[in-house]
Structure 1
């Protein structure tokens, strides 16, 4: 594998001019705001507002569970009215709810404000996925990889800014950070005005899915009937993928909530090793997401990527399991190896999910499908802290090995899921790309008006 020059690498992260570049730029600006908010979201309420950690945790948990229910309806709304409108509305509410943090003074106001923020997040992700499908066309998976790499840069930059405010520690510093978060979301909305306001796509007059799952059924006509609300729920291949992909999404939380506790409480590694783990992860995602993800285009590619992800995460968990009981220098070496493997698994997992989530849904129902997937993933992530901190870490090294075994078993189903999905797609998407001609045809993608 040849090593690209720095200029070539930077260019690989930048999509073509026009709507794709504006989409990725908007995502970047929004994630800078996210990087500012994530480190202070709990600290602000405990240090500045004066709420207890238990009350803050309860408010965050309840609001997250409420928000899970909004993902599928928001995705369906994006299919009906056009995805850009729902994305812009979600970002607007997100910024406003961030500003409303300044008004929180007790548990109940925190619960209300954080519920609004989580609901806006739940509406944003399926609608922005539907918008990407329209912006990207046949390059959807590539642009999604570019967006993810750039988003990691955005989060890192935002976290640096947040760190300055945390170091200052005053109420005024936290207030400035909150205003910067809201400003970033407003800027992201303005950038989306340069993206076409795509019309909803024409829908087929007949059910596009096979009745018996035995093979693809041709779509013989198109009309303007509403997309069936339960279309994604009747797609057996997509539901099977959503369950596997949703549970595998827990691997992303290994770094966020499990590794810091493992390093500090169970190993002799220095505490700064937690920062080292995050640096390795961010750097590798930025460097490799586009390069590795760019080769994952079809459903078959996605199935292989999920299998590789499961194997890599298993090996990473096995490496981290031996950190306990070894000297600090050995624990650091094992941590580096484990983080490389876990991050490779994360990249392959993300690339595989891109292929499935844009290869299985019909273009006119992309939001609905993303909403169903988001609901399953959200539920899995909601239960992850109990599993990772209470069960896996409770068993120590054996817990790591058990978690790795679960991930590899799920990943190994990837190729079979891909074959199931390809076998049950309509005839006009049976090539394995999942992108019908209607997804990229000029008439179908014509915007309501010229982009601002």
Structure 2
């Protein structure tokens, strides 16, 4: 009787669930680490920036406000400039140059207390800072392919954790309150950019959509055509304008709610930082799970309907918080913060996917750069709009909610028409294709 030889059992290797769940392979994970370090450093510096200019360089309140406003206005140009450069030069090199410029501009602040130079250096740092947002999004789109929404969700989660850690580090340094402590925070942020540049240098250049098309056709080269300009694409410009309205959720949560709590409600002042903490915690917990609802472009478009509902609930709750009584105020403000945080998460999912899908392959960087204007402009104009809204009283909030709902409806129609091909002048192959 012959004996059957059983195949040798292979022991399972070590489990690496994190590696398995992160799109983009080793380069994707490395770029996530870069984003985490970025937010750690930014959390260190941004928390103390106004105090640095006040106590170290001796600027007055009005001078600090003007400096921040001017640097923010200069930074608006960073997004389209970064996108344009990414279409012409290797993306990894452009990202490294942006990181090095951010470090140089920040360290330059240590060399002077002259107001005009401080404004110049701050503006010079705002340009690559805003460009980096577009460049990292473009890298994610290219390295993660069809899983770009999940990748960006993981990136945003790690970024929130990094920001929190940086803020805690800044709080510890600010407790000391010395000039050296402020300067160390600035140097720490600058060093984070140098570490990021070293890590990015190890990342491979991701394939461009044009190279994917060339590989699929077997020609080895992409067709020689003139890339379309986003500035002449009226439907894409309209989409970007709508995005600028949606990005107001940042200013509502970070600027309007704290001011509203103090000036218009009976809620305790200490509720304001707690709502911001809750915002970060909810993003960490739910951003990645929610990303599965926007895995395709059409699914992302359908998210605009619940987005409108969340905006309506959030703005109406803020209005209700001013109707009297501490219990009502606290309950309404918590409701508003939760609704607006989920609106923020759903909008970012839809925005990531739709903006990439609407960008032609041979001008992806330029299109995403123009799309980046939505967030950059909101960072500049949003706080001004929110302070005016708080001054206008409780019944201004329903009008804001109605504007957000109307924008969602308009965006839904625009994107549906665009995806159907009626607004496209070129054949569409998105980076989600392999």
> Do the structures match in fold with TM over 0.5?
yes
Deviations 1:69-125 (A, max 9, x none): 232122111111121111111111112222222223021111111011111113212
> Contact 2:19 / 2:25 at 8 angstroms: preserved in 1?
no
- Aligned twin of 2:411: 414
Corresponding position: 1:435 with 2:424:
no
Deviations 1:276-303 (A, max 9, x none): 1101100111111111122202222222
The equivalent position to 1:115 in structure 2, one of 105, 120, 123, is: 123
How far apart, CA to CA, are the structure 2 residues paired with 1:284 and 1:171? 35
How far apart, CA to CA, are the structure 1 residues paired with 2:432 and 2:345? 26
Instruction: Kindly tell me the number of residue pairs found equivalent between the two proteins.
Output: 414
The equivalent position to 1:265 in structure 2, one of 263, 266, 281, is: 263
Structure 1 unmatched runs, 5+ = 1-6, 206-219, 441-452
| Secondary structure at 1:42 match in 2 | helix
- Aligned twin of 1:144: 152
- Aligned twin of 1:19: 27
How far apart, CA to CA, are the structure 1 residues paired with 2:416 and 2:31? 31
Q: Could you tell me how far 1:222 is from its partner in structure 2?
A: 6.1
- Aligned twin of 1:448: none
- Aligned twin of 1:242: 240
> Contact 1:13 / 1:149 at 8 angstroms: preserved in 2?
no
Relative to structure 1, the CA distance from residue 275 to residue 380 in structure 2 (aligned partners, 3 Å threshold; closer, same or farther) is: closer
Q: Could you tell me how far 1:155 is from its partner in structure 2?
A: 0.7
- Aligned twin of 1:104: 112
How far apart, CA to CA, are the structure 2 residues paired with 1:302 and 1:167? 44
Q: Which moved more, 1:282-291 or 1:98-107?
A: 98-107
> Contact 1:204 / 1:221 at 8 angstroms: preserved in 2?
no
- Aligned twin of 1:288: 286
The equivalent position to 1:173 in structure 2, one of 158, 178, 181, is: 181
Structure 2 unmatched runs, 5+ = 1-14, 214-218
Relative to structure 1, the CA distance from residue 29 to residue 70 in structure 2 (aligned partners, 3 Å threshold; closer, same or farther) is: closer
| Secondary structure at 1:194 match in 2 | coil
Aligned positions of 1:69-218 closer than 5 A: 69-198=77-206, 202=210
Corresponding position: 1:63 with 2:71:
yes
- Aligned twin of 2:7: none
Relative to structure 1, the CA distance from residue 79 to residue 226 in structure 2 (aligned partners, 3 Å threshold; closer, same or farther) is: farther
Q: Could you tell me how far 1:357 is from its partner in structure 2?
A: 1.4
Relative to structure 1, the CA distance from residue 436 to residue 21 in structure 2 (aligned partners, 3 Å threshold; closer, same or farther) is: closer
How far apart, CA to CA, are the structure 1 residues paired with 2:119 and 2:130? 16
Deviations 1:218-249 (A, max 9, x none): xx996464753x52223343222111112211
How far apart, CA to CA, are the structure 2 residues paired with 1:65 and 1:54? 16
> Contact 1:45 / 1:51 at 8 angstroms: preserved in 2?
yes
| Secondary structure at 2:48 match in 1 | coil
How far apart, CA to CA, are the structure 2 residues paired with 1:304 and 1:84? 33
How far apart, CA to CA, are the structure 2 residues paired with 1:252 and 1:92? 27
> With structure 1 as the length reference, what TM-score do the two structures score?
0.85
> Contact 2:78 / 2:129 at 8 angstroms: preserved in 1?
no
Relative to structure 1, the CA distance from residue 13 to residue 42 in structure 2 (aligned partners, 3 Å threshold; closer, same or farther) is: farther
Relative to structure 1, the CA distance from residue 10 to residue 134 in structure 2 (aligned partners, 3 Å threshold; closer, same or farther) is: closer
Q: Could you tell me how far 1:325 is from its partner in structure 2?
A: 4.2
Q: Which moved more, 1:411-420 or 1:333-342?
A: 411-420
Relative to structure 1, the CA distance from residue 165 to residue 28 in structure 2 (aligned partners, 3 Å threshold; closer, same or farther) is: same
- Aligned twin of 1:3: none
- Aligned twin of 1:306: 304
How far apart, CA to CA, are the structure 1 residues paired with 2:140 and 2:374? 21
How far apart, CA to CA, are the structure 1 residues paired with 2:193 and 2:220? 41
- Aligned twin of 1:213: none
| Secondary structure at 1:85 match in 2 | helix
> Contact 2:82 / 2:128 at 8 angstroms: preserved in 1?
no
How far apart, CA to CA, are the structure 1 residues paired with 2:153 and 2:85? 25
Larger Rg, first or second structure (1 or 2): 2
> Contact 1:318 / 1:400 at 8 angstroms: preserved in 2?
yes
- Aligned twin of 2:277: 279
Relative to structure 1, the CA distance from residue 202 to residue 325 in structure 2 (aligned partners, 3 Å threshold; closer, same or farther) is: closer
Q: Could you tell me how far 1:200 is from its partner in structure 2?
A: 5.4
> Contact 2:23 / 2:144 at 8 angstroms: preserved in 1?
no
Aligned positions of 1:215-226 closer than 5 A: 223=222, 225=224
- Aligned twin of 1:357: 355
- Aligned twin of 1:393: 390
